[in-house]
Amino acid sequence: MTDPADADAGGGAGAGAPRGLDLDRLAAYLAARRPELAAAPLRARLIAGGKSNLTYLLRSGGHEVVLRRPPLGHVLATAHDMAREHRIISALAPTAVPVPEALLFCPDTDVIGAPFYLMEKVDGEVFRSRSQTDPLTDGQRRDLATAMMDTLAALHAVEPAAVGLADFGRPEGFLGRQVRRWAGQLDQSRSRPLPGVDELRDALAGSVPEGANAGRIVHGDYRLDNLLATVGTGATAPRPAAPGATAPGQGAPGAATGTDPAGAATGTLGATGAGVSVRAVLDWEMATLGDPLADLGLLLTYWSVLGDSDAAVDNPVADGLGPRAGFPSGAELIDRYAGRSDVDVGPLHWHVALGCFKLAVICEGIHYRHTLGQTLGGGFDRIGELVAPLVEHGLRAVREK
């Protein structure tokens, strides 16, 4: 039986193809550049879950690959950069950081209406909701959280120049630019009053820390549901921590790498008894060179602000994350990271405040696109409700001493 969300290449853009794809044009483009991926019929379906860039599963003959493109309409400048995503997963492929194999990048907006790239499909599960995380044992949840932090430590240990990313960003002044960038994104997404958001912006701008850790690869949106993971029943022993850079082909702190059937690097990072494996880190659209504490601050925003507060109840962003879902506390996550990394975690309150501001702006942008009818999939109607509690917590965090 054919998936009702699938569409044949012959149907083109107007006969059942998922919104955001023109399968006729895509098939012709692939036939000229990757003919093995263009066997008729070409089918596609939207992979639900993401709230920003759009992700589709393409089926062509015996191949399954994943296509990523920007959202429909209201695409902010510097956001949703497909070229950056493709470049960084290509660069990280030989390291201990598990990423899908990059297959093709298309900058030509005439093909499907926006730049896009293809990557290999990697088997695994995105743990996003309570329906997925509640069946896990306490040990599995702990191991999943541990693997998440070990993977982040492995990313921050990669030397950018060693993987061709020395020019991937400007570490100097990174944190100040982050405040200005997200303030600019906010101004382009305002469609309603947002009490306190300007105060939070000004407080962040007036108290930017020095950023002693600048110069590392920063994911920009690191969280549990941006990982593909597997949870089995086999026991694996944790490998000893060894902070430092990782050269291509070498291990990283706590990482044992291999290759899955789809060709993506895999690891048993931090698995201590439940067979947890992080198989791929996804959604690299905001990656750059900067201060790794920005990743930690945003992760704590998801984990401890949305995942351990009244805002967590049934919200579409962090429903399955954090202590309320049975995972370890944010403090335990940071302790694990600090034991596997040479990054000085220091006081994180400013970075949590930045994470709250950044996520509030992202949610407001998604809310705005939803009001314009430019979102695909479910769960968008409540995104706007998260902005106020994020701003409130950000104000409390930025005032901490």
pLDDT of residue 374: 67
Distance of CA 92 to the CA centre of its chain: 15
Instruction: Assign 241 a pLDDT band (cuts: 50, 70, 90).
Output: very low
pLDDT at 219 over 60: yes
Average pLDDT over residues 240-267: 32
Nearest to 374 by CA among 72, 19, 114, 80: 72
Q: What does the pLDDT look like over 371-381, one tens digit per residue?
A: 778 665 666 67
Highest mean pLDDT among 79-93, 156-170, 182-196: 156-170
Strand 258-259 and strand 265-266: pairing? antiparallel
pLDDT of residue 330: 95
The rounded mean pLDDT for the chain is 82
pLDDT of residue 264: 33
Average pLDDT over residues 141-146: 96
Q: What does the pLDDT look like over 300-324, one tens digit per residue?
A: 999 998 887 666 566 667 778 899 8
Least confident range of 241-245, 297-301, 341-345, 354-358: 241-245
pLDDT of residue 303: 94
pLDDT of residue 189: 83
Average pLDDT over residues 117-123: 96
Interatomic CA distance for residues 268 and 150, integer angstroms: 10
State how far the alpha carbon of 201 is from the alpha carbons of 73, 90, 183, 391, in Å.
26, 34, 7, 10
pLDDT at 133 over 50: yes
Least confident range of 21-35, 282-296, 311-325: 311-325
